[in-house]
């Protein structure tokens, strides 16, 4: 068997905190700096970062996907969001690091309260976005200190065995998967830059560059990024700053002669060359390093959204056809898994890790698995209520009769990225579990059925998924849907279906998750997640507006043992039956050699 994509070892060791923190402080004193900020970020601001950029984990032991530490000479703190409040306390040395909530300006307030007057707070300008630095600067100034970019990272100086930057081979993402040539993408984006009087756009988001150039890589876990920087010029040419070791003759041919491959360390000098040019950079995503350098160079900076993000999110028909195929393939694996689980789990000896390993095995058996799109969340009983639970050998639980089991997982196939959550009952569920599950399902269906006019944002639709829970005083503490890439990141913008959401309207071709849930702390968790594609709705007789709607593309049974049929409206029941019929039609033929699984599927997708 190949090396597994998911492992279960503790990745963190708080006993390393004291010597490492001491070493960092010694380095800060040597440089005459009074403090330093360590974000969980690399130069590209993606969700997954290479090992080399896991500075926050190295220093604090905290391995979550978001957070920042502030180290002063006498005090230190780590800031994480609500998902990680418990985890950070388990992972770090709390005698050294105060653990605080990052929400409500936690970091800014802490700096204002703790930074000594006249102190100098350092930061690595590559690792913070311009917007983040601007917010921090005013806090530091209110504290009477100053915030200064450091030309080299002091933590790197004291991390003896810091890994090298990744140099995985970048490969072309072919036309039959991308559906539009890089030439075509570059030309239409360049025309728009030209129209706006912009000479060039700085791109540092890896999904933007991979999409624009139709390339993929393997520099970080779970996401096929080829890390690089780029300048897109208004003549549709591109300077691509990427380690030449990642290249190949095939890649050079693919990129063509409008894309100049240059070494990453030439990026700064290229920015210096933008004097008097009008240069677009997105302060929400592009690092302070780039902004400082452009400013010093005398460029006219146009602060605007990364021009790749919206077109990348609106998938073309080729990408959609690919992702539909990927979802049927994934549904096959998931259906085999669920059939296996239905047979084995009642015996009472399965563990959360067993489930993850078995599901990875079924996904590998499809023949096309490039990676998991994230570490599977496999939560039995109370672990299901931990929204971002990640099982380790230490936390691994038996899955027991009477429990709910929640599994949230996804795959990276070259034709599409999947993300799906199913919650299943082991043995007989309680009436409360059925009630809650049915409410989550009703919300899921109400969102899936929604039709809405062009211009509608995800924030306007989010409450459709919550209403059945709201009706009885319940809710869930996360967004209802995030964007999903096309063999790219499993979490992508600019759209979102959530309480606060973004100003971005939903547009045809966007892929989103639809994942309401309900979590009863200490008892169980429920989440039902399908991916949906935003599509133009069919014409309605008498309709006046061009309406959009959702096409559900995930293909896996929803546990009917948890559905209280009498709570469904006729429309909801029709949706569920039609959905299950579509699962059966897509998945059953592939189970021809597995009579047990096939029989299970027929039963699991029966009309109710």
C-beta closer to a second copy: residue 392 or 499: 499
Position among 110, 337, 464, 487 found at the interface with a second copy (CB under 8 A):
464
522 binds a second copy (CB under 8 A): no
Position among 113, 431, 472, 592 found at the interface with a second copy (CB under 8 A):
472
Position among 414, 450, 512, 587 found at the interface with a second copy (CB under 8 A):
450
C-beta closer to a second copy: residue 230 or 469: 469
Nearest of 228, 411, 268, 442 to residue 332 by alpha carbon: 411
Say how far apart CA 416 and CA 351 lie, in whole Å: 29
Nearest of 84, 148, 143, 82 to residue 110 by alpha carbon: 143
Q: How many residues bind a second copy (CB under 8 A)?
A: 29
Q: How far is the CB of 144 from a second copy (least distance, A)?
A: 14
453 binds a second copy (CB under 8 A): yes
Residues 6+ apart with CB under 8 A from 469: 436, 439, 440, 443, 475, 476, 516, 518
C-beta closer to a second copy: residue 160 or 473: 473
467 binds a second copy (CB under 8 A): yes
Q: How far is the CB of 446 from a second copy (least distance, A)?
A: 9
**Three-class SS of residue 305?**
coil
C-beta closer to a second copy: residue 60 or 504: 504
318 binds a second copy (CB under 8 A): no
Position among 275, 365, 540, 581 found at the interface with a second copy (CB under 8 A):
540
Residues 6+ apart with CB under 8 A from 247: 170, 261
Which of these segments, 7-15, 144-152, 167-175, 450-458, binds a second copy (CB under 8 A)? 450-458
164 binds a second copy (CB under 8 A): no
Burial class (CB in 10 A: 0-12, 13-18, 19+), 180: middle
What single-letter DSSP state applies at residue 28? H
470 binds a second copy (CB under 8 A): yes
10 binds a second copy (CB under 8 A): no
278 binds a second copy (CB under 8 A): no
C-beta closer to a second copy: residue 51 or 467: 467
The three-point CA angle 440-443-444 to 5° equals 85
Residue found under tokens 């939560």? 379
Q: How far is the CB of 452 from a second copy (least distance, A)?
A: 5
459 binds a second copy (CB under 8 A): yes
C-beta closer to a second copy: residue 153 or 495: 495
C-beta closer to a second copy: residue 68 or 433: 433
C-beta closer to a second copy: residue 62 or 464: 464
Angle subtended by helix axes 431-449 and 570-587, to nearest 10:
80
Radius of gyration of the chain (CA): 25
Say how far apart CA 159 and CA 167 lie, in whole Å: 20
Position among 286, 386, 537, 597 found at the interface with a second copy (CB under 8 A):
537
Q: Is residue 355 within 8 Å of 405, Cβ to Cβ?
A: yes
Say how far apart CA 324 and CA 531 lie, in whole Å: 10
Chain-centroid distance of CA 192 in Å reads 28
Which of these segments, 170-178, 348-356, 446-454, 580-588, binds a second copy (CB under 8 A)? 446-454
In this structure, how many other beta carbons lie within 10 angstroms of the beta carbon of residue 589? 11
- Residues 405 to 444 in contact with a second copy, rule: CB under 8 A: 432
Q: How far is the CB of 500 from a second copy (least distance, A)?
A: 8
Residues 6+ apart with CB under 8 A from 593: none
595 binds a second copy (CB under 8 A): no
461 binds a second copy (CB under 8 A): yes
462 binds a second copy (CB under 8 A): yes
Helices (H) and strands (E) in the chain, counts: 19, 28
Say how far apart CA 479 and CA 321 lie, in whole Å: 27
Say how far apart CA 38 and CA 17 lie, in whole Å: 14
Q: Which two tokens stand for residue 186?
A: 């570059």
The pairing of strands 411-413 and 371-372 is antiparallel
What does residue 549 show for φ and ψ, rounded to 5 degrees? -155, -175
508 binds a second copy (CB under 8 A): no
Say how far apart CA 359 and CA 39 lie, in whole Å: 33
C-beta closer to a second copy: residue 388 or 451: 451
- Residues 481 to 500 in contact with a second copy, rule: CB under 8 A: 499
C-beta closer to a second copy: residue 75 or 520: 520
Residues within the interface to a second copy (CB under 8 A): 432, 450-453, 455-456, 459-464, 467, 470-475, 499, 537, 539-540, 542-545, 547
């Amino acid at each position: 068997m190949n090396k597994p994509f998911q492992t279960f070892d503790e990745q963190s060791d708080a006993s390393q905190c004291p010597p490492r923190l001491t070493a960092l402080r010694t380095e800060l004193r040597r440089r005459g700096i009074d403090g330093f900020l360590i974000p969980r970020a690399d130069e590209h601001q993606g969700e997954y970062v290479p090992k080399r950029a896991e500075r926050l984990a190295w220093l604090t032991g905290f391995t979550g996907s978001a957070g920042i530490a502030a180290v002063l000479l006498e005090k230190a703190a780590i800031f994480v969001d609500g998902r990680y409040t418990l985890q950070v306390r388990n992972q770090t040395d709390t005698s050294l690091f105060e653990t605080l909530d990052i929400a409500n300006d936690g970091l800014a307030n802490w700096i204002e309260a703790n930074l000594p007057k006249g102190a100098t707070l350092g930061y690595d300008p590559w690792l913070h976005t311009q917007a983040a630095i601007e917010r921090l600067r005013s806090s530091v100034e209110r504290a009477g200190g100053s915030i200064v970019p450091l030309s080299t990272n002091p933590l790197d100086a004291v991390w003896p065995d810091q890994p090298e930057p990744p140099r995985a081979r970048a490969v072309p993402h072919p036309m039959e998967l991308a559906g539009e040539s890089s030439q075509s993408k570059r030309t239409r984006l360049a025309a728009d830059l030209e129209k706006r009087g912009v000479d060039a756009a700085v791109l540092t988001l890896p999904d933007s560059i991979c999409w624009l150039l139709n390339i993929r890589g393997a520099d970080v876990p779970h996401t096929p990024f080829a890390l690089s920087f780029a300048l897109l010029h208004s003549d549709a040419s591109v300077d691509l700053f990427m380690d030449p070791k990642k290249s190949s003759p095939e890649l050079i041919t693919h990129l063509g002669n409008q894309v100049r491959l240059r070494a990453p360390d030439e990026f700064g000098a290229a920015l210096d060359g933008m004097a008097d040019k009008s240069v677009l950079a997105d302060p929400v995503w592009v690092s302070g390093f780039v902004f400082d350098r452009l400013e010093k160079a005398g460029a006219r900076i146009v602060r605007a959204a990364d021009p790749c993000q919206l077109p990348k999110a609106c998938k073309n028909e080729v990408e959609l056809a690919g992702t539909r195929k990927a979802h049927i393939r994934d549904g096959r694996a998931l259906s085999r898994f669920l059939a296996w689980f239905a047979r084995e789990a009642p015996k009472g000896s399965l563990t959360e890790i067993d489930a993850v390993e078995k599901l990875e095995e079924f996904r590998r058996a499809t023949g096309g698995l490039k990676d998991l799109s994230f570490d599977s969340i496999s939560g039995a009983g109370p672990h299901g209520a931990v929204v971002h639970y990640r099982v380790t050998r230490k936390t691994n639980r038996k899955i027991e009769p009477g429990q709910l089991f929640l599994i949230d997982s996804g795959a990276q196939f070259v034709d599409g990225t999947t993300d799906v959550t199913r919650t299943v009952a082991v043995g007989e569920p309680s009436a409360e579990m059925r009630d809650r599950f049915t409410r989550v399902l009703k919300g899921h269906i109400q969102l899936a059925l929604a039709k809405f006019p062009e211009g509608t944002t995800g924030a306007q639709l989010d409450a459709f998924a919550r209403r059945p829970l709201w009706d009885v005083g319940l809710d869930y503490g996360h967004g209802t849907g995030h964007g999903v890439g096309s063999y790219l990141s499993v979490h992508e913008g600019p759209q979102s279906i959530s309480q606060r959401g973004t100003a971005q309207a939903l547009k045809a071709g966007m892929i989103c998750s639809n994942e309401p849930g309900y979590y009863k702390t200490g008892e169980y968790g429920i989440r039902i997640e399908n991916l949906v594609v935003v599509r133009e709705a069919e014409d309605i007789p008498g309709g006046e507006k061009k309406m959009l709607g959702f096409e559900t593309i995930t293909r896996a049974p929803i546990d009917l043992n948890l559905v209280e049929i009498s709570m469904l409206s006729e429309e909801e029941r029709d949706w569920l039956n039609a959905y299950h019929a579509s699962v059966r039609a897509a998945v059953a033929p592939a189970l021809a050699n597995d009579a047990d699984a096939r029989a299970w599927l027929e039963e699991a997708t029966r009309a109710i």
